[in-house]
A and B are shown apart, each in its own frame.
Chain A
Amino acid sequence: MSTLTLRAGPVLVEVERRTAVVSSGLVAVAAALALLGLCHGQDWATPAEVVTALFSGGESAFVIREWRLPRVAAALVFGASLGLAGAVFQNLTRNALGSPDVIGLDAGAYTGALVAITLLNGTAGQLAAGSVAGGLLAAAVIYLLSLDSGLSGLRLVVVGIAVNAMLTAFNSWVVLRAEIDVALAATGWNAGSLNGVDWAEVRLPFAVIGLFALLLVVVSHAMHQAALGDEVARTTGVRLGRLRLLMVLAGVGCTATVTAVAGPVVFIALAAPQIGRRLARAVGVPLVPAALTGAVLLLAADLVAQLLLAPVALPVGVVTTAIGGCYLIWLLGMEVKRR
């Protein structure tokens, strides 16, 4: 396969041509969807109005910059973050089904966030910390429970499903026990929703996601090396123990930060890496196509959620749950056929 070599000072990046083409295509689709998202609202703004509002102001500048832009930005960043998390865990478990939403890390993060809300004050920082801690704890429990079968294999996935069921039950109990105003806020959030996000809510999560994404960029080379097998990784000088720890940290961080703001949004982490990988015809599960596909998917799902039953705005999680289940069934069906 032909590769492109990009050189910027001392940094040298080799990119497969197809990956580069697909990635730029995805960026273009994301930009088009973002424009559509900015146009859509109570009253429809023309694309020209949106562009003026963004760059020079105008009569609808407030609505577009302060109300619609945060939502579109959140969908893009959160989608990319979920795509990354999915790619990390699918690399780690070497299994397309080993994504954080299936194995209960989202539910664990949600538990952590609920604890932060009900027992502490529930400031943005506590929410983020609580959900990351909850996700890490869930990951540790699942890992320990499926230890003797190794990280790969369907067994880990089914153990994760069981943990997911327990955590979901526990979460519902906490929500039912909580004060009515907390419970109301938490229920809408439970379905995974981007309704009513504003800049103040997303600033910290964006920064946290940026940090974890940076960590992933640093370990990505070693990660793809490790995907070739433990032996190969060791002989090429990868320290597997430390690498896996960092990967789990970054993966949980990416998915838990999103959960802290939007609630558990399933399917993106499951499907984005697989779709990105097929589009790029890559070996393994590459990160960049996964992140871009995730951004496109979440933004598209959010638009569908807003448009489908307008004026009722569905939580985006409802849309992604339904599509995600269909995708999972299809994935399983394909695997059966291949046998």
Chain B
Amino acid sequence: MKTDLSRRAPLLLVSAALLVVAAGASLAVGARAVAVAEVWRALTDFAGTADHLVVRDIRLPRTILGVCVGAALGAAGVLIQALTRNPLAEPGILGVTAGAGFAINLGVLAGVAGSQSGQVALAVAGSAVAAVAVYAVGRASPLRLVLAGVALSWVLMGVSLGLRLTFPDVFDRYRFWSVGALAGTEQTPLLLPVLVTVAALVAALAATRPLNALALGEDVAHALGAHVTRIRVAVLVLVTLLTGVATAVAGPIAFVGLMVPHLARRMAVDSIPWIMAYSVLLGPVLLLVADVGARVLLPTGEVPVSIVTAFLGGPVLIWAVRRYGAAAL
């Protein structure tokens, strides 16, 4: 075990360093480029110049939210892959994010999505319903689970698009949100999403040990004294909580929860607690890098970050199908 630790701990430090670099880039890069030294001064010795205002009031909240959303999606990916024992599982692909987004759309229409806590509650409820529905239809095989999720996403996206086209005024405020973007989240109050995400992440880290037992198979888990049903329900609750908060803040963003756990699994072989630790650090790295890319990909304005993550995530899904899919067929 000790050799494992001596290999894994440095990798964890490297991941943390990457996160710092990505956060720095997210603070410095954008329509108004700010030098790194100036970023540092804006954080430590605020002087009220235009550069400082941009960094502190616009990019800092966006970066913090990006870290939260990335960590939440990465952790949700690890949990859902462990729970379904399916390397293709991911909240976005399985339609859980679409469920959360659809619930918020409905809430907007009914006029109950005005407050942030209302949005989070709606998103969590929506993702819970979607997760249970997809799991019920597709549990027979990994690929079928993916297809059920994609089908559910189709339905929900179609109906959401219909709603948006029918009531353009009601949904005007949600234009950026509905395509999955961190742009336009700068004014969001930070307290609630950060608190919920941190609490859920702590619980997720605690849940990894029993999940490790569950990964050995149901019978072994029973023999080891694990409460299988209780673990499953708890993990499902955590997945919906994490996905719900992330979606309420940034809209539906797919593939982060797929890419990050696969990367983490290569670094921490077969230890779910370590995979979770890496994913919590690398999820934000991926999302922040994609967000920085989203800012510079267009000469004018920004692309939604979900477009960047989908473009990066497609190849990972193909790789995962080729690597793991054959066994399931």
Binding site for B on A (CB under 8 A): 97, 102, 145-146, 148-149, 153-155, 157-159, 161-163, 165-166, 168-170, 172-173, 176-177, 191, 266, 309, 312, 314-315, 318-322, 324-326, 328-329, 332-333, 335-336, 339
Contacts and interface: CB of A to CB of B under 8 A. Distances in A.
Given A145-B322, A155-B143, A158-B321, A165 B255 contact: yes
A172 B152 contact: no
Contacts of B179: 172
A201 B180 CA distance: 34
Contact of A165 (B143, B154, B158, B317): B317
Contact of A335 (B144, B155, B156, B318): B144
A85 B118 CA distance: 45
Contact of B329 (A153, A162, A266, A326): A153
A213 B101 CA distance: 41
B1 interface: no
A97 B255 contact: no
A315 B164 CA distance: 12
Interface string B83-117: 00000100000000000000000000000000000
Contacts of A154: 141, 143-144, 147, 325, 329
A250 to B, nearest CB: 26
Interface of B: 88, 137-141, 143-144, 146-148, 150-159, 161-162, 165-166, 179, 254-255, 297-299, 301, 303-304, 306-308, 310-311, 313-315, 317-318, 321-322, 325-326, 329
B161 A318 contact: yes
A55 B170 CA distance: 46
**Which of A168, A266, A320, A322 has the most C-beta atoms of chain B within 10 angstroms of its own C-beta?**
A322
B329 A332 contact: no
B71 to A, nearest CB: 23
Contacts of B322: 145-146, 148, 155, 159
A328 B148 CA distance: 8
Going nearest first, the 7 A-B pairs with the smallest beta carbon separation are A325-B155, A321-B158, A325-B154, A166-B314, A322-B158, A328-B151, A162-B317
B137 A165 contact: no
Contacts of A149: 325-326, 329
**Which of B301, B321, B322 has the most C-beta atoms of chain A within 10 angstroms of its own C-beta?**
B321
A332 B148 contact: yes
Given A318-B161, A319-B162, A332-B151, 20 more contacts: A148-B322, A149-B329, A154-B147, A157-B147, A158-B147, A166-B311, A169-B308, A172-B303, A172-B304, A172-B307, A176-B301, A309-B162, A318-B162, A319-B158, A325-B155, A325-B156, A328-B151, A335-B140, A335-B144, A336-B139
Given A169-B314, A324-B154, A333-B137, A161 B325 contact: no
Prevailing SS type, chain B contact patch: helix
**Which of B139, B179, B255 has the most C-beta atoms of chain A within 10 angstroms of its own C-beta?**
B255
Contact of B166 (A166, A168, A312, A325): A312
B196 to A, nearest CB: 28
Nearest to A308: B162
24 contacts: A145-B318, A146-B321, A149-B325, A154-B144, A155-B322, A155-B329, A158-B146, A158-B317, A158-B325, A162-B318, A165-B317, A166-B310, A168-B310, A169-B311, A169-B314, A172-B303, A173-B303, A177-B299, A321-B158, A322-B159, A325-B154, A325-B156, A332-B148, A336-B138
B88 to A, nearest CB: 7
B315 A166 contact: yes
B88 A158 contact: yes
Contacts, number: 140
Given A321-B157, A328-B154, A169 B325 contact: no
B298 A177 contact: yes
A157 B255 CA distance: 17
Prevailing SS type, chain A contact patch: helix
B162 A322 contact: yes
A332 B147 contact: yes
A139 B38 CA distance: 50
B152 A329 contact: yes
Contacts of A325: 151-156, 158
**Which of A157, A318, A320, A326 has the most C-beta atoms of chain B within 10 angstroms of its own C-beta?**
A318
A59 to B, nearest CB: 33
A173 B297 CA distance: 9
A162 B154 contact: no
Contacts of A319: 158, 162
B317 A161 contact: yes
Given A158-B147, A165-B314, A166-B315, A332 B158 contact: no
Given A173-B303, A312-B165, A325-B153, A157 B143 contact: yes
B307 A169 contact: yes
Contacts of B297: 173
B147 A321 contact: no
B155 A329 contact: yes
Contacts of B137: 329, 332-333, 336
A144 B306 CA distance: 27
Nearest to B161: A318
Nearest to A266: B154
Contacts of A97: 147
Given A168-B310, A322-B158, A155 B88 contact: no
A157 B155 CA distance: 18
Nearest to A321: B158
A269 B164 CA distance: 26
Contacts of A191: 161, 165
B329 A315 contact: no
A318 B326 CA distance: 34
B321 A165 contact: no
A325 B161 CA distance: 14
Nearest to A153: B329
A312 B311 CA distance: 33
B138 A332 contact: yes
Contacts of B140: 335-336, 339
Nearest to A172: B307
A166 B312 CA distance: 8
